[in-house]
Structure 1
Amino acid sequence: MTLKDKRILLTGGTTGIGRAMLLLFARAGARVLTMGRDPDSLEEALGAARALGGELHGLTADLGERADIARIFAAADETLGGLDILVSNAALGAEPIDAMADDDWRYVIDVNLTAALACTRGALQRFLAGEGQVVIVGSISAEIHAPGESVYSATKAGLQAFAETLRKEVAERGVRVSLVEPGTVGSDMQEPDDDEQRAMIAREEMLRAEDIAEAVAFILTRPHRADVVSLRIEPRLQTLT
């Protein structure tokens, strides 16, 4: 199986795990549409990816806005002519619920959970009969329930339940659904600065974003008979609290 010429909608492809996946998909010759809220980060990521190959498209959009999700799928129809794959990756970090303004924690839920459901619905409407693949990037936060992550963990637990149930709903239609749950990954969402993140990666306490991108590529290149249901990936010395 190959990703060459596959039509992929990748949410949150401008930083961290999403950017690593964008580069990998470009290198594999895929046709990709991605989006981000910050136009500068979007252009930087697209520029780096276009140097590697593939066909890359992007637009500035906010997944917390219903109208922007409609724009994303209109762009997918126009630029890709449909979809073969959805990789739902976009996510925001959060503070404890009583440390966040009401609008802020609701916005995290809109981006992390509601948008993932909405994008999945849009992708299912565009998959051809007997085909289509959804990969949802969750987190081990759905399981470990670390203090300080009440809002974030709730969104990731919701994604876990959604992915596992959705798979049963669409399997007979030939659609495959996979859930990837990373442990600690170096990204701009992490509290440690860049130097400390590099040190943590060297100590095998943190993964690189590329580790997750490669795992997603593995899932997407299995034969149709093989459905990777869930994949939990942690650094060798993951700290669980």
Structure 2
Amino acid sequence: MENLNDYLPQSVTGKNILITGGSTGIGRATALLLSGLGANVIIVGQNEQHLSDSRADLSKKAKGEVYSIKADLSTEEGIMNLFDQVNIHFAKLDVLVNNAALAAGNTEDGNYEEWQKVINTNLTAYIACSAEAVKQMNGEGHIINIGSMSADVREETGSVYVATKSAIQGFSEAFRKQINKKGIKVTLIEPGAVDTDMQEQPTDEKKEKVKKLEMLIADDIAVSVLYCLSQPKRCDVVDLKIRPHLQLI
């Protein structure tokens, strides 16, 4: 894939990209891919060790600038501080990947405070980060929201998580209508099961599911993000659903 840029309609080289939840899983894989193709990348996370480890890995392969920011996106203060720092690093923001999310079960598994943190992280932060990103995009850019198959499957074991991801579906569709006229694209990517830390099964079990074509890996979603970013200006990938071949849902 060293010469991948030669085949892309729109190159990500030199693009300024912000990835929330960028220190693990899908966000980390996306950051590694895009920075390796010459994008300037900021990753955001809450765990200092994860951020440090990811930044070190990014620095080894990156062909663009790499930054990491610690921020709690469940709070207004965390989001405002994040975009203050983005403004310091980037004169203009080209791409926002809203990816940070918390796992959640059903209403029997939590309490009001826990639900509020999940909703703030999984939904309100997407809205707030999108609003701030538009201000820094100067009339042209791309916002990618990482959703989930849960918005369609609506499993009974995850009603709280389902509520947030279903809301992301509606927000993405309406928000695209709002800002496309400003030259900004909006894409919703909804993965099926992916081998990340959010999946609570043992590592060996997840690897076996990948082998059996019942689970994706984070790189699969990262390449999907690249595909959406690579389309010519006339072309919007509005909604992309990616599921394991044998996850029959």
So what's the TM-score if we normalise by structure 1? Answer: 0.97
Match of 1:62 among 51, 60, 72: 72
| Aligned-pair Cα RMSD in Å | 0.8
What does residue 169 of structure 1 align with?
178
What does residue 244 of structure 2 align with?
235
- Asked if 1:133 is matched to 2:139, the reply is no
- Asked if 1:204 is matched to 2:219, the reply is no
Secondary structure of the corresponding residue to residue 2 of structure 1: coil
Give the whole-Å Cα distance in 1 for the aligned partners of 2:76 and 2:108: 26
How far is 1:239 from its partner?
A: 4.2
Match of 2:87 among 65, 77, 102: 77
| Residue identity matched to 2:188 | L
Match of 1:17 among 22, 26, 29: 26
| Residue identity matched to 1:218 | Y
State how many pairs are aligned. 239
Secondary structure of the corresponding residue to residue 156 of structure 2: coil
Give the whole-Å Cα distance in 1 for the aligned partners of 2:144 and 2:184: 11
Q: 1:127-151: CA deviations, max 9, x gaps?
A: 122x111100000100100111101
Structure 1 residue runs of 5 or longer lacking an equivalent are none
What does residue 112 of structure 1 align with?
122
Q: 1:31-72: CA deviations, max 9, x gaps?
A: 111111100000101110111112111111111111110111
What does residue 157 of structure 1 align with?
166
- Asked if 1:52 is matched to 2:70, the reply is no
Give the whole-Å Cα distance in 2 for the aligned partners of 1:56 and 1:147: 40
What does residue 107 of structure 2 align with?
97
How far is 1:120 from its partner?
A: 0.1
Point out the more displaced range, 46-55 or 205-214.
46-55
Give the whole-Å Cα distance in 1 for the aligned partners of 2:11 and 2:52: 26
How far is 1:152 from its partner?
A: 0.4
Among all aligned residue pairs of Structure 1 and Structure 2, give the percentage whose two residues are the same amino acid. Answer: 39
Secondary structure of the corresponding residue to residue 136 of structure 2: coil
What does residue 190 of structure 1 align with?
199
What does residue 43 of structure 2 align with?
34
Q: 1:181-212: CA deviations, max 9, x gaps?
A: 00000001102111111100000000000000
Secondary structure of the corresponding residue to residue 123 of structure 1: helix
So what's the TM-score if we normalise by structure 2? Answer: 0.94
Give the whole-Å Cα distance in 1 for the aligned partners of 2:78 and 2:116: 17
Point out the more displaced range, 45-54 or 112-121.
45-54
Secondary structure of the corresponding residue to residue 50 of structure 2: helix
Give the whole-Å Cα distance in 2 for the aligned partners of 1:81 and 1:31: 12
Give the whole-Å Cα distance in 1 for the aligned partners of 2:221 and 2:202: 20
Give the whole-Å Cα distance in 2 for the aligned partners of 1:106 and 1:239: 32
- Asked if 1:4 is matched to 2:13, the reply is yes
Structure 2 residue runs of 5 or longer lacking an equivalent are 1-9
| Residue identity matched to 1:61 | A
How far is 1:98 from its partner?
A: 2.3
Give the whole-Å Cα distance in 2 for the aligned partners of 1:45 and 1:91: 18
